[in-house]
Every structure is written in structure tokens, then in C-alpha cells.
């Protein structure tokens, strides 16, 4: 009975495991369409352009900003991140759900642009665990690790702007919690009421 899909936003501090949880969700064939973000950061080992991110130059990204082609964008630790708007709108209009995996700044922009979006905040079991995960990547300098942890503390204070909070203690557990949220959102009264009333009006 729903006419449009639901926009879900998975966000949280850098290093919390957003990408890992997102990949695990889609391995389970969950009924979501993933909206690939654009970024100016360099690809990490194993990441593919057009699969994990659209990797852009700074000039290319700033052109997308100027042309209003992004649903949201943010600058984080010297790099741009953003969501191309066209794919999101077209997919929602077909009735399919869309999942964004983005940084906290971007999620708050989505909240303003799409108040009906469902925001999910992914948190680590502790800041010490978050630090270990960032260091474990082996790709960050000591200075960047400190910057990411300082930013994480600020971002965790922003969780009040979100609809749900999910602890990423284990990837499988986090996925189960997120799938429960997706399912529950489809049964909300305000999502089905209008369509159902229209159905009753059909003669």
C-alpha cells in the first residue's frame, strides 16, 4: 500500500564499522537499495569505484556542489563526502527503500532535506574499542587517529537528532537490529494510513 520507498540513513563516528555493517546487510539480501556516496578520499585496499564509492577529484566534487547534484555533503578530515541526489529520488519514487551510509554531518543535512528519513546512529561499545578499530586499519597516522577520536566524541553528542541507536558490538548483532528497524518502519501507522484509506474509497 505504500506509494514511496523509505530512506534509511546509517551513520556514526568514523571507525565504528559503518561500511562493514552495510556490506553484511546486503550479503543477507535485505530488501534495500544502496546509494553509493561520492568522496574525494583515496580508495582503501579492495575498494572499487562505483561499488564502494564514486571516487572524485576535489574539482569534480565542488562542481557537483555548485550544480546542486548532492542530497548532502560534508568535509571530514580534509576530504569531501556526499550523496548524489538523482539516484535517491528515482529509487524512492519506484517504491523501493534506499540506504545511505554517510558521515554525521551529512546525516543531519538529510534530516533537514528529507524529514521523513529514518536516521540510525551506529555506536561502538566504547571509545577504547573505537580507537582500536581505527588503529587496526593500519592506514591512519597517529595525528589522524587523534583527530578522528576527538571528532567521534563530538558526533556522539549529536545522536539526539537520530531516530534509533544501534551498538556495533558484533556485526551480526548490529545487522539484526537494523533489519528489525527496517521491518518495523514499514508497519508505522502514518506510513500506511493514507494509502489504506484510499484503498477503502475505491468503488
| β 33-35/37-39 pair status | unpaired
The pLDDT score that the predictor gives to residue 127 is: 81
Give domain status of residue 30, yes or no.
yes
Instruction: Answer yes or no: is 91 within a domain.
Output: no
The CATH number covering residue 105 comes to 3.40.50.300
Cβ atoms of residues 130 and 16 within 8 Å: yes
pLDDT at site 120: 98
Total residues found in the chain within this entry: 203
What pLDDT score does 202 carry?
60
Q: How far apart are the first and last CA of the chain?
A: 17
Does the residue 63 lie in any domain? no
Asked if 142 and 34 count as a contact pair (C-beta separation under 8 A), the reply is no
Q: Please check whether residue 149 lies inside any domain of the structure.
A: yes
Would 181 be classed as within a structural domain? yes
The pLDDT assigned to 27 comes to 87
Q: What is the model's pLDDT at position 29?
A: 66
What is the layout of strands, in order, in the sheet containing 98-101?
Answer: 33-35, 98-101, 7-11, 118-123, 164-167
Q: How many domains does the chain have?
A: 1
What are phi and psi for residue 18, nearest 5 degrees? -55, -45
- Structural domain range at position 12: 7-35+96-201
Contact assessment for residue 110 and residue 10, using Cβ atoms and an 8 Å cutoff: no
Residue 23 in domain? yes
Q: Please, are residues 15 and 125 in contact by the beta-carbon 8 Å criterion?
A: no
Rounded-to-integer distance, Cα 36 and Cα 3, Å: 23
* pLDDT tens track, the chain, 203 positions: 557 899 999 999 888 889 899 999 988 767 789 998 899 999 988 999 988 889 999 999 999 999 999 999 988 878 999 999 988 988 899 889 999 998 888 898 999 888 999 999 999 888 888 877 777 766 677 788 788 888 888 888 899 999 999 999 999 999 999 999 999 999 898 888 877 777 777 65
Name the E strands within 46-115: 53-55, 70-76, 79-84, 98-101
pLDDT value for 63: 96
68 within domain boundaries: no
Amino acid at each position: 500500500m505504500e506509494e514511496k520507498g523509505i530512506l534509511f540513513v546509517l551513520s556514526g563516528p568514523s571507525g565504528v564499522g559503518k561500511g562493514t555493517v552495510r556490506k553484511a546487510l546486503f550479503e543477507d539480501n535485505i530488501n534495500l537499495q544502496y546509494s553509493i556516496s561520492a568522496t574525494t578520499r583515496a580508495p582503501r585496499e579492495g575498494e572499487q569505484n562505483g561499488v564502494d564509492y564514486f571516487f572524485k577529484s576535489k574539482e569534480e566534487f565542488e562542481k557537483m556542489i555548485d550544480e546542486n547534484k548532492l542530497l548532502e555533503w560534508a568535509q571530514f578530515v580534509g576530504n569531501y563526502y556526499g550523496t548524489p541526489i538523482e539516484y535517491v529520488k528515482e529509487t524512492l519514487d519506484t517504491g523501493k527503500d534506499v540506504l545511505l551510509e554517510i558521515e554525521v554531518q551529512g546525516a543531519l543535512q538529510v534530516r533537514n532535506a528529507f524529514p521523513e528519513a529514518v536516521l540510525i546512529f551506529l555506536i561502538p561499545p566504547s571509545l577504547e574499542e573505537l580507537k582500536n578499530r581505527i588503529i587496526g586499519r593500519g592506514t591512519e597516522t597517529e595525528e589522524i587517529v587523534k583527530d578522528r577520536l576527538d571528532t567521534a566524541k563530538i558526533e556522539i553528542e549529536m545522536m539526539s537528532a537520530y531516530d534509533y541507536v544501534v551498538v556495533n558490538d558484533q556485526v551480526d548483532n548490529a545487522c539484526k537490529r537494523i533489519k528489525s528497524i527496517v521491518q518495523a518502519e514499514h508497519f508505522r501507522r502514518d506510513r500506511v494510513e493514507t494509502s489504506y484509506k484510499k484503498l477503502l474509497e475505491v468503488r
